[in-house]
Each structure stands twice: as structure tokens, then as C-alpha cells.
Amino acid sequence: MIRAEKIYKSFGSLQVLKGIDLQVQKGEIVSIVGPSGAGKTTLLMIMGTLEKADSGKVIIDGHELHTLGEKKLAAFRNQNIGFVFQFHQLLPEFTALENVMIPALIGRARHADAEKRAEELLRLMGLMERAEHKPAELSGGEKQRVAVARALINDPLVVFADEPSGSLDSDNKDELHRLFFELRDKLDQTFIIVTHDEQLASITDRTIHMLDGEIVTPGERLSK
């Protein structure tokens, strides 16, 4: 369903990714772990089309993304890829409901349809009573759940999450982690999650270990 093949990426003289091969199936929750500087976030950004590889290819649902021009790539990203970041990235001047609706409206959905779907997602997140609140009026956990709802508004093929619980306290972390599994069970949603959280990594379907721009086995991590 999602394949990365021979992904290389350098920034100047620093080679960040060294021929990454990775495959994720629909409905999987996969974590990517490793020390800072291992290349985890760079890989996530390339797979999510927010960064370009120097060479190699990413294939999502049969679409070879490197063959798409900028406009088609932006449209594909909007319709098929969701993102959740460590800091919620909600727009402060808009309500929770409006923030969730934004990707659907960018994708030219009818306003009424976008609003209905956003309300369904906020209800699923247990946040319907907070729909008219702006981000400054929400707790950290609530903001992150709004961000998850926004990532899901266009029914994406995959959600990429970069340290999604990194800014949360332990109770909100646990709640967010449970939410990912509930969404997989209810929506058959695929998640690829970069995390330093060992507890989250331990409960995902599969954990990818990275070190110095390569995927390694846990044993190799110790020997390098």
C-alpha cells in the first residue's frame, strides 16, 4: 500500500538517508524510532511529500509520487495524506470546527459537507462540545485531538505523525495513543508514527529502528 524504495537524502555534505526501503500495509500502525539525527523525521517528510528525496521513490496506493508535478502532488497530498505534528499547528483565529474543516475546503468540498464530516470527527474525538472554542481555550490534549480530526477530514490513505504526543503529559499521551488504535479499528486507518515514546512504540503493530540514516535491527543498533 505504501512503499519507499532506495530513498537517499543529503543536506550539503551530510547524508541523512542511505537507501531506505520500507513497506507499510493498509490498516497498520507502524512506529519509527531511533536517536536524534537518525533520519526519522526526514524519512517521514519524504514519504509525506513535504520533502523531496535526492533519489529513490515513494509509491502510495499505486501512485509513483515522484512522477507527479507540483499541482498534482499538492492535490494528492490534500486528498490522501494526513499529518499530525508534535505541536498541533492549529490556526489560532479559527474555532476547533473550522480548523478541522480547512483541508476539506482546500480540496473544494462543499461547505455543508465539510462541516458535517468535521462534526462527525469531533464527536468521535469526544470534542463536540468544544467545537466553537478557539485553540487558546483548549487543553493540550484537546488541541492534539483536534489536529488528529483535521488529519482525518479527507479520509486519507495514511496519516503521518511526527512525535504526536511529545508535548503532552502522561495522561493525555495515553489517551492519544489509545485514540490511534480506536481509529484504526473503526476506520481501518493507517498510521506511520515517528516517536521517542517507548511505550507507544511497544504497542504499535511494528517498530522500525533507524540509526545513522539506515533501518537496522535492534541488535545492530547496539553493535554500531
In DSSP notation, 149-185 reads HHHHTT--SEEEEESTTTTS-HHHHHHHHHHHHHHHH
Number of H helices, E strands in the chain: 8, 10
113-159: pLDDT as tens digits: 999 999 999 998 889 999 999 999 998 889 988 999 999 999 899 99
pLDDT of residue 220: 54
72-121: pLDDT as tens digits: 888 888 889 999 887 778 999 999 999 999 999 988 889 999 999 999 99
In CATH terms, the fold of domain 2-223 is Rossmann fold (3.40.50)
pLDDT of residue 169: 78
Global pTM?
Answer: 0.88
Q: Which amino acid is at 43?
A: L
Check the CA dihedral 119-125-130-132 and report its sign: negative
- DSSP alpha helix (H) spans, 5-69: 40-47
Domain ranges of the chain: 2-223
pLDDT of residue 108: 86
Closest of 102, 130, 134 to residue 115, by C-alpha: 102
